[in-house]
């Protein structure tokens, strides 16, 4: 069985600062994929970043980057130069099927203060 | 980019009625669609996976007779909540995936309120 754990219900960050969201996962599969999704108040699910477990290099998308520690089963998200528009719920997710059947974590609410 | 339309966005109905939610892929063929349920301030829980032309596969604990899923075409899947009751009130989100290892694209969700 797969599990995804996000232990931070809420994180607060000032504009232009950096915040790191933690995520740990558990799987018995050797092939899997990890994701971070953003859900703003509109509740639309927006893909932030995707990481293939077989790739050692950490994925990066502009101000968003991950720290993927495979042995520790850790997949944290760093948001640099935080902007007001980054305020949202962030979900960590895992799948063994490239893009299918996600197992989501409980989510972390990011609050950005001016 | 790929667009998934979900309709209605918000529905309020009386207890005991059935409600149908549609999920359409507008510019691609969705061989697989997923239905999720999200309670306030909680995560998305996968309810079922449907492949076009096949019966849906339900997750453990999801009543298949309560939540009827149909995926009759490559662009449309429907979720029908039968004999809805207040405890069925929730936010329902669909996602659609094209053939092969294609990304999942999410709809904007449907807020269902049962009075």
Mean pLDDT of B80-108: 93
For residue B53, the model assigns a pLDDT of 84
Chain B residue with CA closest to A90: the answer is B43
For residue B102, the model assigns a pLDDT of 83
A1 pLDDT more than 80: no
B43 pLDDT more than 90: yes
Phi, psi of B87, rounded to the nearest 5 degrees = -70, -10
Two tokens, residue A3? 């599990």
Mean pLDDT of B21-48: 93
pLDDT band at A81 (very low <50, low <70, confident <90, very high): very high
DSSP SS3 for A84: helix
* Residues A44, B103: C-beta atoms closer than 8 Å: no
Chain B residue with CA closest to A97: the answer is B101
Two tokens, residue B106? 């999410």
CB-count burial class (<10 Å; 0-12, 13-18, 19+) for A52? middle
Using a CB-CB cut-off of 8 Å, the residues of chain B touching A103 are: 46
Does the CB of B78 have a partner CB in chain A at under 8 Å?
Answer: no
Mean pLDDT of A39-52: 94
With an 8 Å Cβ cutoff, the interface of chain A facing chain B consists of 42-45, 47, 91, 98-107
B91 pLDDT more than 80: yes
Mean pLDDT of B37-53: 92
Quick count: other Cβ atoms within 10 Å of Cβ B50? 26
Using a CB-CB cut-off of 8 Å, the residues of chain B touching A45 are: 44, 93, 95, 106
Mean pLDDT of B2-17: 94
Cis peptide before B8 (omega within 30 of 0): yes
Contact of A81 with A16, CB cutoff 8 Å = yes
- If you count residue pairs, one on A and one on B, with CB atoms under 8 Å apart, how many are there? 44
Distance from CA of B113 to the nearest CA of A (A): 16
A103 pLDDT more than 80: yes
Two tokens, residue A51? 């990481």
pLDDT tens per residue across span B50-75: 988 888 999 999 999 999 999 989 99
For residue A72, the model assigns a pLDDT of 95
B111 pLDDT more than 80: yes
* Residues A45, B32: C-beta atoms closer than 8 Å: no
């Amino acid at each position: 069985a797969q599990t995804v754990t996000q232990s931070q219900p809420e994180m607060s960050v000032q504009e232009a600062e950096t915040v790191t969201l933690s995520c740990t996962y558990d799987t018995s599969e050797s092939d899997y994929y990890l994701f971070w999704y953003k859900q703003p108040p509109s509740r639309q699910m927006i893909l932030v970043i995707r990481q293939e477990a077989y790739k050692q290099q950490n994925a990066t998308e502009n101000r968003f980057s991950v720290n993927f520690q495979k042995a520790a089963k850790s997949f944290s998200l760093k948001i640099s130069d935080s902007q007001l528009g980054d305020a949202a719920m962030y979900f960590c997710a895992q799948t063994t099927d490239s893009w299918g059947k996600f197992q989501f974590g409980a989510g972390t609410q990011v609050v950005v203060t001016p | 980019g790929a667009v998934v339309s979900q309709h209605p966005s918000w529905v309020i109905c009386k207890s005991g009625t059935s409600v149908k939610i549609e999920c359409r892929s507008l510019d691609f063929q969705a061989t697989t669609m997923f239905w999720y349920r999200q309670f306030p301030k909680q995560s998305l829980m996968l309810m079922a996976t449907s492949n076009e032309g096949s019966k849906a596969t339900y997750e453990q604990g999801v009543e298949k007779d309560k939540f009827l899923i149909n995926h009759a075409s490559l662009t449309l899947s429907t979720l029908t909540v039968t004999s809805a009751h207040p405890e069925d009130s929730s936010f329902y989100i669909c996602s659609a995936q094209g053939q092969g290892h294609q990304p999942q694209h999410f709809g904007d969700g449907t807020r269902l309120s049962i009075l």
